């Protein structure tokens, strides 16, 4: 009869857990509707842990733009569509400006750094980092020249292929990474530099690992999985990249002159000196290392993934590539290096770049937010500390905001006169106080690199346009582009 006693005990545990969850929901207030959770496993029956985005989009169809799901025992607020995301991240910016670090990211950041911290630490690191980025030229002519120079290095790399097929993945990663490295480390790297290669591989591997089925499963059930010995240690922790960052910091410390800061590291070291007697100072080595890690990942992967998708779109729609070539020829010509002022005279190219970003959808679920204090939202009571998923993919494909939401169409950003048209649902950099720190830098990079490459080359696919497959390799933290080869034909 032991099995009967065990069964009764399990049933009692099941009922008790269910009542506890129900009581918890009632106590916490009026949460938005959603699928009924089961004890311990939450909404496992409705959410496939290896396909979180797809599952949430299906629930969006049933429950609307604001709903609640349970990842294990924890409630999660899900926001879909332009209006709901705007009302939360913009209209209630303070309440929704917290950050919940997903468990798979914890080993890499440990609650430090500008992207994964909270409270006073986050506010100070964000303020400092924005100041440094601007002091080193973000949005100014000085960084524009650095981007133009890097674009010419890429042109030379493309020429070296001599029209033979090649995979652009790591070239594009090096392209974008070198710009943020010039700010963090005060120098660009040769594309063959071994340390540089290690950093770029680390960034690519981080986004890849955080987008795997295992990472998505772990993010939902980490509270249970961590009881399994060794599981936590299996999570990717960017160790090789962190060691190289630490090495660069040590090198700066040995040659440091506070009167002549050379890069982000030096600026941080100056603040460390100023606050050396403050026991509560956030200017410490852990924050410095994690800030640089955040900048390297954010300054490399989204831009390079957008370009990889962009090349695919241009090859799949050769008529679009032809119109961009025509506009470049008219405004810039074949010899002059493109500059940011050209954008004003190139509405079609500008629209194409925006449409590439919209359709690339490289961070479909954004980074996870957290409610910083109890708040009322759309008639519901959202408690402090609740996790929030703002599904940027549903904003970028909102049918109420884009006339062709589900296909690649530059007309989404053009008016009836062919002039560029802004759209407030264009949020690839997210919105509110947690939006991308380097948005101004990224926008400049995308335009200058895009026009530089297409000024010099026609991009040619190895397969007919209709056979080009845009299906991502994986969708998790990132929307990982498929691997492919292309030929760069000099113009």
Query: From the CB of residue 325, how many other CB atoms can be counted at a distance below 10 Å?
Result: 17
Residue 186, by phi and psi: left (phi above 0), alpha (psi -120 to 50) or beta?
left
Q: Pairing relation of β-strands 387-391 and 74-80? A: parallel
23-34 pLDDT tens trace: 444 434 589 999
Cα–Cα distance between 414 and 484 in angstroms, integer?
A: 30
Q: First CA to last CA across the chain, in angstroms?
A: 83
**CA 223 to mean position of chain CA atoms:** 25
Cα–Cα distance between 206 and 304 in angstroms, integer?
A: 14
Q: What's residue 3's pLDDT?
A: 43
- Mean pLDDT over the full length of the chain: 91
Burial class of residue 38 in the structure, from the number of CB atoms within 10 Å of its CB (0-12 exposed, 13-18 middle, 19+ buried): middle
Q: What's residue 117's pLDDT?
A: 92
Lowest mean pLDDT among 11-15, 233-237, 375-379, 429-433: 11-15
Cα–Cα distance between 420 and 344 in angstroms, integer?
A: 9
**CA 145 to mean position of chain CA atoms:** 25
Cα–Cα distance between 397 and 410 in angstroms, integer?
A: 14
Q: What's residue 102's pLDDT?
A: 86
Q: What's residue 236's pLDDT?
A: 79
Task: Record the tokens describing residue 211, joined without a space.
Answer: 């987008």
Q: What are phi and psi of 384, to 5 degrees?
A: -55, 135
Task: Record the tokens describing residue 166, joined without a space.
Answer: 């090649």
pLDDT surpasses 50 at 9: no
Find tokens 């493309």 and name the residue: 158
Cα–Cα distance between 438 and 35 in angstroms, integer?
A: 37
441-456 pLDDT tens trace: 999 999 999 999 999 9
The answer, as to whether pTM is greater than 0.85, is yes
State the DSSP H helix or E strand holding residue 316, giving kind and residue range, or none if neither.
helix 285-316
> 144 near 340, Cβ under 8 Å?
yes
The CATH class for the domain spanning 31-490 reads: mainly alpha
> What is the arithmetic mean of pLDDT over 399-424?
96
Q: What's residue 186's pLDDT?
A: 93
335-387 pLDDT tens trace: 999 999 999 999 999 999 999 999 999 999 999 999 999 999 999 999 999 99
> Nearest-5° angle of CA 318, CA 154, CA 134?
105
Sequential DSSP letters for 29-57:
--PPP-PPPBTTTBTTTTS-TT-HHHHHH
Q: What's residue 29's pLDDT?
A: 54
Q: What's residue 140's pLDDT?
A: 72
Q: Pairing relation of β-strands 98-99 and 74-80? A: unpaired
State the DSSP H helix or E strand holding residue 285, giving kind and residue range, or none if neither.
helix 285-316
State the DSSP H helix or E strand holding residue 152, giving kind and residue range, or none if neither.
helix 141-160
> What is the arithmetic mean of pLDDT over 396-418?
96
Cα–Cα distance list, 204 to 172, 233, 339, 377, 439 (Å):
11, 20, 29, 37, 20
Q: What's residue 7's pLDDT?
A: 39
Cα–Cα distance between 486 and 461 in angstroms, integer?
A: 5
Q: What's residue 28's pLDDT?
A: 47
Residues of the chain with pLDDT > 70, as a percent, come to 93
pLDDT surpasses 60 at 131: yes
pLDDT confidence tier of residue 133, bands split at 50, 70 and 90: very high
Longest dimension (CA), the chain: 87
């Amino acid at each position: 009869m032991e099995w009967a006693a065990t069964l009764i005990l399990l049933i009692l545990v099941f009922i008790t857990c269910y009542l506890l969850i129900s009581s918890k929901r009632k106590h916490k207030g009026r949460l938005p509707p959603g699928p009924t959770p089961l004890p311990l496993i939450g909404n496992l029956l409705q959410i496939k842990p290896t396909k979180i985005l797809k599952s949430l989009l299906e629930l969006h169809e049933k429950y609307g733009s604001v709903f609640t799901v349970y990842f294990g025992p924890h409630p999660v607020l899900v926001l879909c569509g332009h209006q709901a995301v705007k009302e939360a991240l913009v209209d209630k910016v303070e309440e929704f400006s917290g950050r919940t670090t997903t468990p798979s990211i914890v080993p890499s950041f440990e609650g430090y750094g500008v992207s994964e911290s909270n409270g006073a630490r986050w506010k100070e690191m964000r303020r400092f980092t924005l100041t440094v980025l601007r002091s080193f030229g973000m949005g100014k002519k000085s960084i524009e020249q650095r981007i133009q120079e890097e674009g010419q290095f890429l042109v030379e790399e493309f020429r070296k292929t001599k029209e033979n097929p090649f995979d652009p993945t790591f070239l594009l990663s090096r392209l974008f990474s070198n710009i943020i490295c010039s700010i963090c480390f005060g120098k660009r790297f040769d594309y063959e530099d071994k340390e540089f290669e290690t950093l770029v591989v680390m960034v690519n591997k981080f986004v890849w690992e955080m987008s795997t089925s295992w990472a998505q499963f772990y993010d939902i059930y980490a509270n249970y999985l961590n009881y399994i010995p060794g599981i936590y240690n299996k999570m990717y922790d960017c160790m090789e990249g962190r060691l190289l960052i630490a090495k660069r910091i040590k090198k700066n410390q040995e040659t440091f002159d506070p009167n002549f800061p050379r890069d982000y590291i030096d600026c941080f070291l100056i603040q460390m000196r100023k606050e050396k007697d403050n026991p509560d100072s956030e200017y410490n080595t852990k924050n410095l290392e994690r800030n640089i890690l955040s900048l390297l990942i954010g300054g490399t992967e989204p831009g390079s993934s957008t370009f990889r998708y962009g090349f695919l779109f241009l090859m799949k729609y050769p008529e679009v590539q032809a119109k961009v070539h025509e506009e470049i020829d008219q405004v810039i010509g074949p010899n002059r290096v493109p500059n940011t002022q050209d954008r004003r005279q190139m509405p079609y190219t500008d629209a194409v770049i925006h449409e590439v970003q919209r359709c690339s959808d490289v961070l479909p679920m954004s980074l996870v937010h957290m409610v910083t204090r109890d708040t009322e939202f759309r008639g519901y009571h959202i408690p402090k500390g609740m996790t929030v998923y703002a599904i940027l993919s549903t904003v970028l494909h909102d049918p109420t905001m884009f006339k062709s939401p589900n296909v690649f169409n530059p007309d989404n950003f053009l008016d009836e006169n062919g002039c560029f048209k802004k759209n407030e649902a264009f949020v690839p950099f997210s919105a509110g106080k947690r939006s991308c720190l380097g948005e101004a830098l990224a926008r400049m990079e995308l335009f200058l690199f895009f026009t530089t490459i297409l000024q010099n080359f026609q991009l040619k696919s190895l397969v007919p346009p209709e056979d080009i497959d845009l299906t991502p390799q994986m969708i998790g933290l990132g929307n990982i582009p498929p691997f492919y080869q292309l030929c760069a034909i000099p113009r």
